[in-house]
Amino acid sequence: MSDQSRDTIESLSHEDRTFPPPAEFAARAQIQEAEYRRLLALAETDYERFWAEQAQAELQWIQPFTRTLNDREAPHYQWFEDGLLNVSVNCIDRHLPDRANKPAIIFEGEPGDTRRLTYAELLHEVVRFANALRGRGIKKGDRVVLYMPMVPEAVIAMQACARIGAIHSVVFGGFSGDSLRDRINDAEASAVVTADGGFRSGRVIELKAVCDRIIGDCPSVHTVFVLKRAGNPVTWSPARDIWWHEAVAGAGADCPPVAVGAEHPLFLLYTSGSTGRPKGIQHSSAGYLLGTILTMRWVFDIRPDDVFWCTADVGWITGHSYVAYGPLAAGATLLMYEGAPMVPDPGRYWQICERHKVSVFYTAPTAIRALKKQGDDYPARYDLSSLRLLGSVGEPINPEAWMWYHTHIGHGRCPIVDTWWQTETGAHMIAPIPGVSTLKPGSCGRALPGIMADIVDNKGDPVGAANTGGFLVIKRPWPFMLRTVWRNPQRYIDTYWKEFDGRYYVSGDGAKRDADGYFWIMGRVDDVLKVSGHRLGTMEIESALVAHSRVAEAAVVGRPDELTGEAICAFVVVRGTRPSGPDAEALTQDLRQWVSEHIGPIAKPAVIRYTDNLPKTRSGKIMRRLLRAVAAGEPITQDVSTLENPDIIRQLQGD
């Protein structure tokens, strides 16, 4: 953290609306009040026993563990270290006695094509590709990089790696060749799994062509598997490249699962948008999988008849935990969609929910705000009665977007689980229990059982008083936490543990906790603004702006200012046509006054710039570092290859 981030953060916003669990939902919920209280009490009084009981109940072990937590080399914690298991077995094989013919994956491509795979069919495909990997010499501990469209074969390849003990590293299909090369080389991958192309926003993303441009700089790679998806022409290296369908055609239909230790790395996932050397977050097998299963049950209240749709790409941690692993480990039916939410029109998500009877829907606040901007007519065209639970992930959801989601998508009957977690945490850490928690728009609720979260000041002491902003930390290790940074343990310590002398895991987020114990995320500590000596969270200012009737989306950053230290610069997307001239001047004055009334004069933006869209990755995350450069008039040095609409940069710079 920088010196500027070492003060507590002032909280100036207020939200008083509350929504108790609907009676019908609460009556059927997996976790009832008594069980929730029991879990909290057990975790508080006997922490290791709590986690041991969860691991024994939820995971199928080849060799049961006898040691729960090894903290002798903290913060390099180990969980269930002497146990043996296979992740693929836990996700697929163990369901076959009861669910062999149940749909495991429902897929819809952007062009409209659909596929269904039962659990038995999924196992067949996983086994064949696992044998194809083995046929090319891939073995336990080897790294395999995936650079894929959002198709079932992406999940099949991940599960196949897990079956043979190979370590996969998924690179988001929107990353540039340079980013792909750096990740391949850092992992020293033996093989790459890609596709000729994938469909996105009405066009073909040529993935194989990107691989071809950089693969000569990746000396560790000896094999490239290529899925035929889009049918676009590709170049070919016979000694290195092999079509997926040809590789599996000659593969055997039996592949005994490899037993791995609980701490065996399941995957590496490189953090996006970083500068310099990529940071490979390493997750374990047993602890990570346990976190995904528990949160599927606790937070998503998953039931045997659910159709679960998480809109995230498998290139992100959300797509790992709540596409490739959690839903399958919980025996659910998973829906995958390949394309963009606006193709052919902004009703695509709601059309998919209607067509496939989606019951649990999990997406990002940026997607919600973008769809809200398109108006209420689109969701109103579709029958959304199958939905029973809604979720939010990726960044804090502002109250007005929460209310739109609740009213127009959930029709007032679906609880919304706003989840706080990170690539590093592996699974949800702070989230509502939908059959128990009273919901507050904009709050992610209380910490889950077994997660010891707190808010501390610049000395690392708990802030104590309600609604006092500080630094969000986790006080005790948990099974699904990252284990290290791949081949860089010192970077792991320096990034996540050094700030408070190793006492806590430091999340990098600012937060407050209200009188009811509910957490409110105030933004990344690096995004907190220092204005005239006051530390202000960006999330509160953004929420105030979006609450205005003319504002669809907003992002707030700081830029250097000689008088105030930092000046607040707001980038605003309005409903309807982007304002200019006198209309823009009048709206700017109105918005500044609006923020002053809702938060306080100190929070009034010094500059408001209007744009057609915000610069977002295809996963829906706003690239605020890029906006900071634009606000300061600095050249763009960040990798912008992941942007959903790269043209928006020229608009931002040209205004």
| Distance from C-alpha of 456 to C-alpha of 471, rounded to nearest angstrom | 5
Structure tokens at 567: 């000046």
Q: Assign a CATH topology to domain 528-654.
A: GMP Synthetase; Chain A, domain 3 (3.30.300)
Would you say 390 and 409 are in contact if contact means Cβ atoms under 8 Å apart?
A: yes
| Distance from C-alpha of 532 to C-alpha of 404, rounded to nearest angstrom | 35
DSSP run (H or E) holding 564:
none
| Distance from C-alpha of 457 to C-alpha of 471, rounded to nearest angstrom | 6
Q: Where are the alpha helices (DSSP H) in 428-508?
A: 489-496
At residue 654, the pLDDT reads: 67
Residue 77 identity (one-letter amino acid): Y
Residue 432's nearest CA partner among 27, 421, 443 is 443
DSSP run (H or E) holding 649:
helix 648-654
At residue 619, the pLDDT reads: 63
Structure tokens at 391: 């979720």
pLDDT digits (tens, 9 = 90+) for 334-347: 999 999 999 999 99
User: Which residues, 6+ apart, have CB-to-CB distance to 634 below 8 Å?
Assistant: none
Question: How crowded is residue 60: how many other Cβ atoms within 10 Å of its Cβ?
Answer: 11
Would you say 644 and 617 are in contact if contact means Cβ atoms under 8 Å apart?
A: yes
* pLDDT above 70: percentage of residues in the chain: 94
Is the pLDDT at 257 greater than 90? The verdict is yes
Residue 335's nearest CA partner among 312, 315, 317, 318 is 312
Q: In the chain, count of helices (H) and strands (E)? A: 22, 30
At residue 2, the pLDDT reads: 39
pLDDT digits (tens, 9 = 90+) for 40-99: 999 999 999 999 999 999 999 999 999 999 999 999 999 999 999 999 999 999 999 999
Is the pLDDT at 273 greater than 50? The verdict is no
Identify the top-confidence range among 506-510, 523-527, 616-620, 630-634: 506-510
**How does residue 463 score in pLDDT terms, banded at 50, 70 and 90?**
very high
Helix H, strand E, coil C: the string for 420-435 is ECCCCCCCCCECCCCC
Is the pLDDT at 561 greater than 90? The verdict is no
Is the pLDDT at 142 greater than 70? The verdict is yes
At residue 628, the pLDDT reads: 83
Range with lowest mean pLDDT among 91-105, 172-186, 249-263, 445-459: 172-186
**How does residue 274 score in pLDDT terms, banded at 50, 70 and 90?**
very low
Identify the top-confidence range among 21-35, 525-539, 562-576, 592-606: 21-35
User: Which residues, 6+ apart, have CB-to-CB distance to 286 below 8 Å?
Assistant: 55, 59, 65, 79, 80, 83, 85, 262, 263, 479
pLDDT digits (tens, 9 = 90+) for 400-425: 999 999 999 999 999 999 999 999 99
At residue 61, the pLDDT reads: 98
At residue 5, the pLDDT reads: 41
DSSP run (H or E) holding 167:
strand 167-170
Mean pLDDT of the chain: 92
Selected from 3.30.1370.10, 3.10.150.10, 3.40.50.12780, 3.20.20.140, the CATH number assigned to the domain covering 3-511 reads 3.40.50.12780
Q: Where are the beta strands (DSSP E) in 78-153?
A: 78-79, 84-85, 103-108, 114-118, 143-147
Is the pLDDT at 4 greater than 70? The verdict is no
Q: How far is CA 14 from the centre of its chain?
A: 27
In the block, residue with structure tokens 């987020």: 509
Would you say 289 and 51 are in contact if contact means Cβ atoms under 8 Å apart?
A: no
Residue 512's nearest CA partner among 17, 19, 9, 16 is 9
Residue 541's nearest CA partner among 557, 530, 565 is 557
At residue 539, the pLDDT reads: 76
Cα separations (Å) of 77 from 86, 460, 477, 484, 500?
20, 21, 7, 9, 17
Range with lowest mean pLDDT among 395-409, 511-525, 629-643: 629-643
- pTM of the entire structure? 0.87
Instruction: List the Cα angle 416/420/426 in 5-degree steps.
Output: 120
Cα separations (Å) of 456 from 74, 470, 512?
21, 5, 10
At residue 530, the pLDDT reads: 65
| Distance from C-alpha of 591 to C-alpha of 585, rounded to nearest angstrom | 10
Structure tokens at 71: 């903290």
φ, ψ at 167 (rounded to 5°):
-100, 115
At residue 453, the pLDDT reads: 98
Q: Quote the DSSP letter at residue 469.
A: B
pLDDT digits (tens, 9 = 90+) for 174-220: 888 988 999 999 999 999 999 999 999 999 999 999 999 999 999 99
At residue 560, the pLDDT reads: 81
| Distance from C-alpha of 309 to C-alpha of 323, rounded to nearest angstrom | 8
- Domains 3-511 and 528-654 alike in fold: no
Residue 207's nearest CA partner among 641, 645, 634 is 641
Range with lowest mean pLDDT among 95-99, 254-258, 508-512: 508-512
**How does residue 275 score in pLDDT terms, banded at 50, 70 and 90?**
very low
At residue 7, the pLDDT reads: 57
| Distance from C-alpha of 98 to C-alpha of 11, rounded to nearest angstrom | 51
Diameter of the chain by CA atoms?
Answer: 72
Q: Where are the alpha helices (DSSP H) in 215-323?
A: 244-249, 286-298, 317-319
**How does residue 647 score in pLDDT terms, banded at 50, 70 and 90?**
confident
At residue 291, the pLDDT reads: 98
| Distance from C-alpha of 310 to C-alpha of 184, rounded to nearest angstrom | 27
Would you say 280 and 397 are in contact if contact means Cβ atoms under 8 Å apart?
A: no
Buried b (16+ CB within 10 A) or exposed e, 267-278: bbbbebeeeeeb
Question: How crowded is residue 114: how many other Cβ atoms within 10 Å of its Cβ?
Answer: 11
Question: How crowded is residue 600: how many other Cβ atoms within 10 Å of its Cβ?
Answer: 16
At residue 6, the pLDDT reads: 43
Structure tokens at 342: 């606006």
Would you say 117 and 159 are in contact if contact means Cβ atoms under 8 Å apart?
A: no
Mean pLDDT of 112-124: 98
Residue 325's nearest CA partner among 155, 164, 152 is 155
Cα torsion 141, 143, 149, 153: sign: negative
**For the chain, which residues make up each domain, given as ranges?**
3-511, 528-654
Would you say 212 and 177 are in contact if contact means Cβ atoms under 8 Å apart?
A: no
Structure tokens at 296: 């599927």
Q: Which long-range contacts (CB under 8 A, 24 or more apart) does 634-642 make?
A: 637/275, 638/273, 638/275, 639/175, 639/176, 639/178, 639/179, 639/273, 640/615, 641/174, 641/175, 641/176, 641/179, 642/172, 642/174, 642/175, 642/176, 642/272, 642/273, 642/617, 642/618
Mean pLDDT of 575-587: 91
User: Which residues, 6+ apart, have CB-to-CB distance to 589 below 8 Å?
Assistant: none
